[in-house]
Structure 1
Amino acid sequence: MTPNGPADVPLESLIDNDKKLMLNYEKAYGVISVCLSTDIAQTLRECTAAKGLWDALVEKFEGNLDMKESRIEMLNGEFNMFNHIQGKTVTSLLNRFEALNNMMRSVGIIKEMSEINKKLLNSLPYTWNSGAITIKRTTNMNTKNTHRVDLYNQII
């Protein structure tokens, strides 16, 4: 071992590796910053490194622990209160339900498939009650094999 690195690795090779690493950091910063809208980029312009920029974005949009817990509570409440909106189509209900499930998964809320399927069937419009009852009776809602896609196909 020498002061410049391992004895068998030439100094030029170490410098080249450092250059490649710096280039990768610059690319990462460029990719992240290009994806930001101008108003968000303006608030984060003091960040000059990719890691700092990423950490600032996580803090800004994910928030601290209290904010995360509050978001989890809000999403759980939204799931519990989820229902059909008068005048909206069943397709829009399915889209809202899927978006809600995606948001819940993104913050770490994982519900049992049977609970999700039952909630979906219970949130269908009143005129769909006979169809929902038929689906509940003909489909075993307690198995993990009953996926929402199959349920969506039965509903539509």
Structure 2
Amino acid sequence: MEAWFAVEDGWTEPMVKNDKGESMLKPRKQWTAEEKAEAKHNSQAVSVIFNSLPLDQFNSVQGCVSAKEAWDILQVTFEGTSNVKRTRLDNLALDFDNLSMEEGETIASYISRLSAIADEAVIMGKRYKDKTLVKKFLRSIPDKFQPHRSAIDVSFNSNDLKFSQVVGMMQSFEMQLKKKEHRAE
């Protein structure tokens, strides 16, 4: 946990003032126990970050002395600046709005695509509520699911349903449809 604090809070080498009143690095032999502990936690965090990266990503942070410095570089690399992040979120929202289940696609396949967008949004700082996911799911499934969609609308308050519950109900209905189709062949 202390190593993570070094990532969040940052770490700098201890400084002292010289005879002229100028700041300079404090000799390691003069570090206090607390300064040594903070340096150790920073070193642990830097080590974990460095060892977790492939070579091409390591090259961008190899000169970093503090874990926070390395983390900040990686954060911009993977998440982008606030403008990039906002644009990515806008694009995800557009993808979410435009997503619909294709004819012949399985519920599992569609849920996988829908969940991928929702999960990426969470990484970017936006969480879709169950209510939103349920409404999106029910709106975007093909007409062959209409009877079951109507049954859910009549029998349940969709605002109170969990996304996983609705998915489970539709997967069950899909299995019944496939069984009927198989028998008809």
For the criterion TM > 0.5, the same-fold answer is yes
Listed one character per residue, the Cα deviations across residues 110-149 of structure 1 (whole Å, up to 9, x for unaligned) are: 4453332111112223322222222222221133xx1112
Equivalent positions of 1:6-155 (< 5 A) are 15-143=32-160, 146-155=161-170
Q: Return the alpha-carbon distance in structure 1 between the equivalents of residues 102 and 66 of structure 2.
A: 46
In the alignment, structure 2 segments of 5+ residues that lack a partner are 1-28, 172-185
- Deviation beyond 6 Å, 4+ runs, structure 1: none
Alignment match, 1:5: none
With normalisation by structure 2, the TM-score equals 0.68
With normalisation by structure 1, the TM-score equals 0.79
Residue 138 of structure 2 aligns with an amino acid whose one-letter code is L
Listed one character per residue, the Cα deviations across residues 90-121 of structure 1 (whole Å, up to 9, x for unaligned) are: 11111222222222233233445333211111
3-state secondary structure, aligned to 2:133: helix
In the alignment, structure 1 segments of 5+ residues that lack a partner are 1-11
% identity of equivalent residues: 23
1:86 is displaced (CA, Å) by: 4.4
Structure 1 window deviating more from structure 2 (68-77 vs 95-104): it is 95-104
Residue 147 of structure 2 aligns with an amino acid whose one-letter code is S
Listed one character per residue, the Cα deviations across residues 27-65 of structure 1 (whole Å, up to 9, x for unaligned) are: 000111111122211232232321110010111111112
Larger-gyration structure (1/2): 2
Residue 52 of structure 2 aligns with an amino acid whose one-letter code is C
Q: Return the alpha-carbon distance in structure 1 between the equivalents of residues 103 and 57 of structure 2.
A: 36
Residue 115 of structure 1 aligns with an amino acid whose one-letter code is T
